Chains A and B, each alone.
Chain A
Amino acid sequence: MRLINELGYVFRQPLVWLCFLAAPLFAFTLASGLAVEGSDVINQFKLHLVALHMMQLALLTGALAPTFFLRDQIHNMQELVAVTPITFKQSALLRVGTLVLCVFVIALISTLVMVVMQMHSKGFDWQIINQLAWNSLFVLLPNSCLLGVIAFWFCQKFSSALVNYVVFAVLWIGYLLLASVTGNRILAGSSIISETSYQLFIWLDPFAYTAIIGSFIEPQGWAIAVNRVLILLLTTVIYCSAVAASSVFSSFNKPVKNALSYSQSVTVASVSYQPASAINHELPIFFAFYKAALCNVLKHPMTLLILLVWPAMVFNSVASSADYAEPLSVISATSIDAINHYAFDMQILIGCLLMVLWSWQVSCYAKRFNMAELIAVTPVKTATILSSQLLILTTLVIIFSTMSFVGASLAQWFNGSQYQAYDHVYVLCLTALPLMLIAWVTVCVFNLCRSILIAALVVFVMLLLKFTPVMTYLGLTHTFWSLAWTPLQPPNEFWQYRASLNSYWPYMSVWLVACISFILLSCAFNHRGAGLGRRAVKRKDAWLIMPVLLSIGLFVQLHMRLVYEKPLTNSHKREAFKANYEKTFADWQHKLQPQVSHIDAKIDFYPHQQFAKFDLTYTLKNPHARAIKQILVGRAGFYKWAKVKIAGATQIAFYPDLNQAVYEFAVAIKPHETRQLTTQFEVHQATLWPAGGHQIITPEFSYIRAVPVLPTIGYQINYELTDTSLRAQYGLQPKVRPLASALLTKGQNRPEHYERITMSSKISTAAGYQVVTQGKQIAHQREQGREIFEFKTLTAINNLPAWLSVPFTAETKKHDGITLQVFAKNQDVLERADATAVNLQAMSDTLDWFKNNIVAYKAKQLSLVAAAPFGSTGYALPQIILIEDKVGFRARPSDDAGFDQRYRRAVHETAHQWFGHDIGNSVPADSAFLVESMAKYIELVIIEKRYGKAAMNALVDYETKRYKQASRMDIAAKVALIDSTKSYDQYSKATIVFAKLRAEIGDEAIISALKSVWQEYAYPNRPATAMDFIQALKQQVEAQHIALINTLFLDV
């Protein structure tokens, strides 16, 4: 009866209903976004449950706890309830039980949503039902109990809803942080920092999620059982301590608030009432508001705690990782490096949450203390109330940013790193502005919405849109959903803020105008904190349409500019483009098309103006035995159509939505005949998107890779959708990518020819700039204040041209007739000079090894360029290597490093001149093994040759650790090494496999196999595949080693 009575109360609370709606909705969104191709169904389901409960259980409990445990205090019913005959122990048990029941049921409903989603996509499975029951009974229920009693303990101890909210926010974030350092695969970027802490967490994880995930690799039955027993004991202890420590009478035993009701005689005052005139100065009023509300927030113990803990967090983050470049590699950290470790993800997330909390405290200050009506009737202008609140939030943003500054500065002082206060101040100003706008908008929401619950809901939705991909899931991806978002990227020492500063202000100015408009609106329709009626819309409010229209206009304008720069602005549009492309042009897969045999490029770089002009002439050659009448010419969907002219051909069809055109020759191209295609276009650096990837034109670094900017010839297989469910969604036939291991036996999809081209480039750039591209530099002159370079390839290269222009000169070394160049900035700095020498050494060593063992490098020059962040730490193009400046030129080996990452990377990328650009291309289904895995083999042999066995073993140990961690995180089905498309297989497993192979059969057999592959399958023969190497290897070894080769390369 009491339980029913309690539930009667519970189900009248709007917050409970909100949780019942929001939690399953969240489950639905999560279930849709976590699918892993090819993974084990049960493990995937377990992982979904862990993700769901990890994300929502603590939040649900924290949100609901005050409704259950603090309702008497909040609604002043303490005494009424206390005098009823129910004992405190009964009441406590009842309330804890009801909260646990409520949280459990909500979580169970969410779980059922997941079950339905899982079964919808994978079909019915009894194992899922079993798993559901097991999880609910042994994981969900104990976890709900634990969280319920924690909430009860804190509510009893502090009688404050705010304390409860903060405790649960800390619990939630704290657990996520712990999970991220113990390799919880739900969290992107998480890894096992320490094996000991991981093993410990398997047993002591309060929610048992680590053990559940660990069970994917090895059974964890005992760990889970012991963990559950421990948690039940802990739950009981917390509950008993909460009950023992509090008594219902304890609150009444405190001095009562009426303590000042002294008996007093009524005195007849000698004074009389004298009215006082107001002077109507708004400034003192403004400051009275400001002072009172700011003091209220700052004096709150929770704020003080936050302001102490936050700089400590920043200190920890900066002090522990500012000099980190990559594993086994460190840098001499600067303030810019320190900034990267606190001012972006951490500052924005924590900052947003704090702004919301403080906005609520400031806006609802008077209402919380039931003084709102007294304040609202004073002759204070609404604008004064609102502007004082906005200033308070601005002050709090400044205080928060100052605390970040203090924490980071102390950490830098502690580490003894290069300190520039300006860098911190500058970036904190940039990040503080969005925080301030978020705080302002939140304040306005609380000023506009009469109901705090509705305002809180609006703010929650705002945060949901900002920090989760919910709109992407709904197919409405847009940067505008994330309030006050800008593309601001962390700065780096290579080009400071170049990547994104240009795009910061266009966004920020629009957000500012929109925010000011919202402030004006909320000023006009403010409830003045009392939560009573807003005034009706009147004719005199018509002027408010102007700022609103201005904001809408600016958003529309920004949107148009965004779309102009990158038309396919979200994944749904890109998917639709691909699906439409395949549907429209599928038959072109089987039509004979000419190949590009030569590119004549005239390119003008304007680094300072951030654009480049392209004038290209393709020589198209018909390599087939039959004539070609029509060709398909296209361009990637996010570029505007380029001017294209083909000698002797006219455009007969154009598909503007797909950026494709069909040209028909008046006279078909005969076998081996050539024709000319000319095209002109410009490439501009995007101003509203961060600079990065393979198309960058900036004063510090310009790099244009042919793919995807150049027009394409024929059907582009890489445009096809590969995801099975997406293909089904768009009505495309299932397409199974052939396994590399099956290519040899079935002989399918094996092209007969490599795609090779020759190139000649005439490139102009700004004075003082250098140009890097494929081919030998045959001329250089300065004309009209511009540098003009000419290049020509002496041999055919893999069809992947690229052109770079950089403002720094090269360190050049002539090695065995080959010009090795390393382009990097500030090479006179000692550390950088050392890095340049290491990189040159690695290039020379690799060239020597290949010349002595396989085949010599074919070109006459090889250039290595220190690159701005472009999405990878290293990348090899024919005759050009890009290595990110930080890891390649600022970094040095850490004290515990057994090998030099700079040397390893340079060897790896140099090796791609053979594995990747000589063989290992032109077969789309077979590229990973012959490119990446073989380059890892080269790392092993060259590091051993240069630095000895210990260094090689250190590399193997490093890759073994990486493999173990990554393997633990992956629930997808395992595949053979040569079939794998996973990077941890291609790199780490390949290193382990080749180390073992070398130990067993030695290098000689492997080298002989490679030589044989080159002899049979190098250009101009037909392209090599991974299985060609395996076959060759088997021929080089004795029979007893065949099984080992099969095990290492072909077995799962």
Chain B
Amino acid sequence: MLTLTNINKKYADGTQALSDISITLPTGMVGLLGPNGAGKSSLMRTLACLQSVDNGQVNFNGLDVLQHPDEMRKQLGYLPQQFGVYPNMSCIALLEHIAILKGLGRKDRKQQISELLALLNLSQFANKKVSHFSGGMKQRFGIAQALLGDPKLIILDEPTAGLDPAERESLNNLLVTISKQRLVLLSTHIVEDIENQCHFVAMINQGRLIQSGEVDALIKPLHGYVWLLKSLPTALPQGAVVLSQSYRYGKPLFRVYARVAPAEHAIPAEVTLQDTYFYELRSRGSNTCD
């Protein structure tokens, strides 16, 4: 559905934001994983036609996105990680404003705005000023505006930031529902969200694509090689990688990748997408993750 070919982007200060990225993203929920500064926002802004690239091609359903950004914008829904709102405008007025910018007719926009307000639990605040909304409400407004029209590519940067667990669950359900005939590109630090909703994931680090594919397929190679340990042995087997260190009930818990049990007390663990993500980062020498 969306094909990126040899995308490169270097900023004026010399930062190589995107380096030779080539990938094909299928329809449905697609997750984008990477540490801070990996190039996720640069990639999403590129796909949202907000910034140009040095070279490469982006093709969406046969449309050359870089050559025809206006056509791409007609099929785009976008929620940036941070955004503001105009002052003195109610939620419904601001949605109306953006709906007009998206080219919706009067009848359609009235109906869709009403539906989106209901879907995102904002109906009772429709006439309140968005600038007075709480973080979670503003985020829901942001999602509503991204869904206005009939976007075929929805780019969501941290859509669940600021949402409480119930709202998060509700949103995830909505996204899964609407992603059946469209590509929803989801960037989040909550790997669990991606694992639960996305069937496809792309991992980038330092501007490079380090891994991509169906979530199942990415997890599968680690199957049987992830262990849970309460403490690390003095020496790990050759090739073993400490994937994460966390605490459960105040006691440390280590997840370790190893071909063989790294210690006598090691317990085989079920592989998660997070293990794969950390494995990819660790095995490529990055220490950051979030």
Give A contacts to B, CB under 8 Å: 257-261, 264, 266-281, 284-285, 288-289, 292, 296, 299, 365-366, 369-371, 373-382, 528, 530, 532-536
Contact = CB atoms under 8 A, between A and B. Distances in A.
Interface stretch (B70-78, B228-236, B244-252, B274-282): B70-78
Given A378-B102, A536-B52, A269 B70 contact: no
A274 B52 contact: no
B103 A279 contact: yes
A299 B105 CA distance: 27
Interface in B116-137: 116, 118-119, 121, 124-125, 128, 131-137
B85 A369 contact: yes
Contacts of B86: 292, 296, 365-366, 369, 371
Interface in B29-77: 45, 48-52, 69-71, 73-74, 76
Contact of B134 (A261, A376, A535): A261
B150 interface: yes
Given A257-B131, A260-B132, A374-B83, 5 more contacts: A260-B125, A260-B137, A261-B137, A277-B150, A373-B45
B98 interface: yes
B188 to A, nearest CB: 18
Given A371-B84, A374-B80, A273 B177 contact: yes
B150 A284 contact: no
B208 interface: no
24 contacts: A257-B132, A257-B133, A260-B128, A261-B133, A261-B136, A272-B115, A272-B177, A273-B116, A276-B108, A276-B149, A276-B150, A277-B149, A281-B103, A288-B100, A292-B97, A366-B86, A370-B84, A371-B83, A374-B80, A374-B83, A375-B98, A377-B49, A532-B45, A535-B52
B167 interface: yes
B148 interface: yes
Give 4 nearest A-B pairs by CB, closest first. A370-B84, A261-B134, A533-B51, A278-B103
A834 B71 CA distance: 76
Contacts, number: 157
A825 B119 CA distance: 80
Nearest to B151: A275
Nearest to A383: B70
B178 A285 contact: no
Given A369-B84, A374-B78, A378-B102, A269 B121 contact: yes
Question: Interface residues of A: mostly helix, strand, loop or mixed?
Answer: loop
Given A259-B132, A285-B101, A378-B73, A269 B50 contact: no
Nearest to A381: B70
Interface residues of B, number: 62
Contacts of B255: none
A375 B148 CA distance: 13
Nearest to A270: B118
Contacts of A292: 86, 97
B283 interface: no
Given A277-B150, A285-B103, A289-B101, A373 B51 contact: no
A299 B78 contact: no
B97 A288 contact: yes
A274 B178 CA distance: 9
Given A269-B119, A274-B112, A374-B145, A532 B51 contact: yes
B98 A378 contact: yes
Nearest to A377: B78
A381 B68 CA distance: 11
B87 interface: yes
A266 B101 contact: no
A533 B50 contact: yes
B76 A273 contact: no
B174 interface: yes
Given A272-B177, A278-B150, A266 B83 contact: no
Contact of A271 (B108, B118, B170): B118
A271 to B, nearest CB: 5
Given A276-B150, A288-B100, A530 B174 contact: no
B256 interface: no
Contact of B101 (A264, A271, A378, A533): A378
A279 B51 contact: no
B82 interface: yes
Interface of B: 45, 48-52, 69-71, 73-74, 76, 78, 80, 82-88, 97-98, 100-105, 108-109, 111-112, 115-116, 118-119, 121, 124-125, 128, 131-137, 142, 145, 147-151, 166-167, 169-170, 174, 177-178
B73 to A, nearest CB: 4
Contact of B50 (A272, A289, A377, A382): A377
B46 to A, nearest CB: 9
Given A273-B174, A379-B70, A284 B83 contact: no
B134 A373 contact: no
Contact of B48 (A264, A288, A377): A377
Contact of B135 (A258, A267, A273, A274): A258
B41 to A, nearest CB: 10
A276 B50 contact: no
B132 A373 contact: no
A284 B112 contact: no
A533 B178 CA distance: 31
Contacts of B50: 373, 376-377, 528, 530, 532-533
A268 B121 CA distance: 8
In this complex, the member of A258, A381, A533 whose beta carbon has the largest number of chain B beta carbons within 10 angstroms is A533
Contact of B103 (A377, A379, A530): A379
A158 to B, nearest CB: 15
A267 B166 CA distance: 10
A260 B80 CA distance: 22
A448 to B, nearest CB: 15
Given A276-B108, A533-B50, A377 B150 contact: no
A288 B115 contact: no
B118 A269 contact: yes
B87 A369 contact: yes
Contacts of A532: 45, 50-51
A284 B100 contact: yes
A277 B108 contact: yes
Contacts of A376: 48, 50
B40 to A, nearest CB: 15
A275 B177 contact: no
Contacts of B100: 284-285, 288
B121 A279 contact: no
A266 B76 contact: no
Contacts of B71: 379
Contacts of A261: 133-137
Given A377-B73, A535-B52, A276 B134 contact: no
A278 B104 contact: yes
B57 to A, nearest CB: 14
Contacts of B115: 271-274
A266 B109 CA distance: 24
Contacts of B169: 266
Contacts of A371: 83-86
A377 B145 contact: no
Nearest to B100: A288
Contacts of B69: 535
Contact of A280 (B52, B88, B103, B177): B103
A268 B74 CA distance: 30
Given A276-B111, A369-B85, A376-B50, A271 B103 contact: no
Contacts of A374: 78, 80, 83, 98, 142, 145
B119 A273 contact: yes
Given A273-B177, A374-B98, A260 B108 contact: no
A370 B105 contact: no
Nearest to B164: A266
Contacts of A373: 45, 48, 50, 78, 80, 83
A377 B174 contact: no
A245 B119 CA distance: 46
B119 A288 contact: no
A278 B131 contact: no
